[in-house]
Amino acid sequence: MALIRAFVIVCSLCLIVASRAVADEAAHLANPIQLLLGDPPRAPTDVSGLPKGEGRFAASGLTVSTSDRAAVARFYRLYKAANLVPSDWSGSVAGCQAGSIGADYREATRQQINFFRALAGLPAAVSMDSGFSADDQQAALMFSANGQLSHFPPSSWRCYTANGYEAAGKSNLALGNTGPDAVKGYMDDDGTNNAIVGHRRWLLYPQTQLMGTGDVTDAPNDGYNTNALWVQDGSFGGVRPAVRDDFVAWPPQGYVPYDLVPARWSFSYPDADFSAATVSVTRDGQPVSVRFEINASDANGYGENALVWVVDNRDTSAATVLPKPLSDTSYRVVINGARIGGQPRNFDYTVIVFDPDPAVPPMSFLPAQPNLTVGRSITLTMSGNSGSIVSAGWSGSRAFDLQFASATSIKLTGIAPGSATVTVTDAGGNSALLLVTVSAQGSGADWQIGGRGDGTAEAMTLVADVLPASLDDARAGAYFVAAQLPDGSLYLNNGQGWVSFTGGAIPSRMTETLTQRSFPVFVGLDTRGLSGTQILVGYGTDANDMLNNGKYRAIYTIP
């Protein structure tokens, strides 16, 4: 009990290419993962065989008033929270095993979809259908194994399945992005093949009630990170529900966080004729350039009819992020010459671009002090970044190899004792530096445990990050999670849920080979009434090792 009591006491307290170095003391760059969206799927001709209504994972609706600046800033925390959750993909590219993603990752993807729909003023209660998701998982595996995207993949492809083929024709497809990040990519809809912003229009189709998602993440054996997001259900062509603004615009009317404003703007209305429409935009009262992307009928067939334009001649070939505004910036959009039901109609609305998180710290690395040794690999994830990483490199002695692990993380592998400085730059032009030292021998005391929390009180997400001591790497062990309430009561997570603990054997959250690990503590949890609760995370070869050697930390206190 003394050891247990010690634990309780603290409670209260697309393509990966690596650069090859050619000389020491020089600057070396790695090629970033190429993010690619396929063409959007065409509208189905028959939806009689597709389900509609609520799927297996029930979804409560999200709402937000974009006329309320503070409300949008709070709501934005849901977007940031969804990006924290790890995927826990269980498949194998080499073995053509589609596997599955973790339920929390699927929920984070669903939350991200509904976040964007709510901000656009649509019904935001889309659910994930288990059948759609299972088929999308097979589609994602095909794309990962072949390094290509297609709505009609040939049967000669590696890991081909008929169910994957079916999903490919009804899904948004991404190479290099997965889960919530892929949802953001579909909303941006960059790329020379996406002038019609069809991916965005499917996500913002008002009638949709069911979607599905499948991902391959951190794929070894020459696989690629991929996502397939099923976007067509049996509600297609049905009665249009009420939407906040009558039309569907992105960015929407009202307050919009600056990093959600894409290069391509769009305006949708059912059965509208935009062939003679014009668009003018002013920024804080001054005219800005507008370049049409589409306004003709050949862009129809992807959700609702749409008009698409580019403001300020921004680059649409790849993802870009608006510079952080020093003050709120108003864009007035005036559309003339549209025809709705054969009758002329004009539209006039204002988008206010703002910084929802001015106090966010500069871009940084997680973990902040990687305990790298020769032969060990560690993934560094960026926090505080705007969009994906666009460049990464290192200077100094050739102590490690550097690869891109994902759009927002890099992987270092120690190859020789020494030090070098890693430099990373994101799509918003922000940069961060980190001095990394590689040791010849491991240590039993260089472990790190931390946590990342975000969201709202009604839907809070917390992810634990554990980097075991270098001498513990690859040993059999377990991870532990505890919650200490303000009244002193203690709960432990046994992998199935939270259980009250008053003594005895300490249950583990999971038992597996010890390695760098991120895992969700909770996702979308209503924390109202839990203020002051502390969350602890630990690891060890067993509970005694964790307690005897103090391998645990309080990582978060619920505000």
Determine the Cα–Cα distance for residues 498 and 480; give it in Å rounded to an integer: 12
Q: How high is the pLDDT of residue 462?
A: 95
E-assigned strand segments in 232-376? 248-250, 254-257, 264-268, 278-283, 286-288, 290-294, 306-311, 329-340, 343-354, 364-366, 372-373
Identify which of 303, 304, 309 has the alpha carbon closest to the alpha carbon of residue 278. Answer: 309
Would you say 160 and 146 are in contact if contact means Cβ atoms under 8 Å apart?
A: no
Determine the Cα–Cα distance for residues 10 and 5; give it in Å rounded to an integer: 9
Q: How high is the pLDDT of residue 368?
A: 87
pLDDT in tens, 221-273: 557 899 999 999 999 989 999 999 999 999 999 999 999 999 999 999 999 99
Residue 130's φ and ψ, nearest 5 degrees, are -65, -35
Distance of CA 201 to the CA centre of its chain: 19
Q: How high is the pLDDT of residue 45?
A: 67
Output the DSSP codes for 419-459.
EEEEEEEETTS-EEEEEEEEESS--SS--EEEEEEEEETTE
Q: 167 by DSSP, 3-state: which?
A: helix
In the chain, the amino acid numbered 370 is P
Identify which of 191, 154, 143, 194 has the alpha carbon closest to the alpha carbon of residue 41. Answer: 194
Would you say 471 and 531 are in contact if contact means Cβ atoms under 8 Å apart?
A: no
Please name every residue paired with 208 in a beta bridge, in sequence order, or none if there are none.
Answer: none
pLDDT tens string for the chain (559 positions)?
333 333 333 332 222 222 222 223 345 666 556 667 777 887 776 666 666 554 333 345 899 999 999 999 999 999 999 999 999 999 999 999 999 999 999 999 999 999 999 999 999 999 999 999 999 999 999 999 999 999 999 999 999 999 999 999 999 999 988 999 999 999 999 998 999 999 999 999 999 999 999 999 976 655 789 999 999 999 998 999 999 999 999 999 999 999 999 999 999 999 999 999 999 999 999 999 999 987 655 677 889 999 999 999 999 988 788 888 999 999 999 999 999 999 999 999 999 999 998 887 778 888 988 889 999 999 999 887 777 888 888 898 889 999 888 888 899 999 999 999 999 998 888 889 999 999 999 999 999 999 999 999 989 999 999 999 999 999 999 999 999 999 999 999 999 999 999 999 999 999 999 999 999 999 989 999 999 999 999 999 999 999 999 999 999 999 9
Q: Which domains occur in the chain, in start order?
A: 36-230 (3.40.33.10), 248-354 (2.60.40.1220), 359-443 (2.60.40.1080), 446-558 (2.60.40)
Residue 513's φ and ψ, nearest 5 degrees, are -60, 130
Determine the Cα–Cα distance for residues 479 and 541; give it in Å rounded to an integer: 9
Identify which of 263, 265, 269, 172 has the alpha carbon closest to the alpha carbon of residue 214. Answer: 172
H-run or E-run covering 184:
helix 179-188
Listed in sequence order, the residues at least 6 apart from 522 whose beta carbon sits closer than 8 Å to its beta carbon are: 460, 461, 462
Owner of token pair 């946590």: 451
Tally of CB atoms within 10 A around 143:
29
Q: How high is the pLDDT of residue 54?
A: 44
